[in-house]
Structure 1
Amino acid sequence: MNREENVHLLRKYYAFIKLDHNDIIKELQKLKVSYIT
């Protein structure tokens, strides 16, 4: 993973903070799936 991808993921992560807890969990599950596949 390069630096630009890390920055992109950080921006997504900080955007999640503004969402409610359930939305954060759903998005993290999506990320896990995308990492595995």
Structure 2
Amino acid sequence: VLNKVITVYAALCCEVKKLKYEAETKFYNGLLFYGEGG
């Protein structure tokens, strides 16, 4: 049971890292641009 929990947790961490990276690369430039224009 513990092994399953660890596997799921690791997968979640991986997903979050991926999402965070995507968000930073995709939206960071947009936020900077918006901040400069605003």
Q: Which has the larger radius of gyration?
A: 2
Could you say which structure has the greater relative contact order, defined with CA pairs below 8 angstroms and 6 or more residues apart?
A: 1
Using structure 2 for the length normalisation, give the TM-score: 0.46
Whichever structure has more helix as a proportion of its residues is: 2
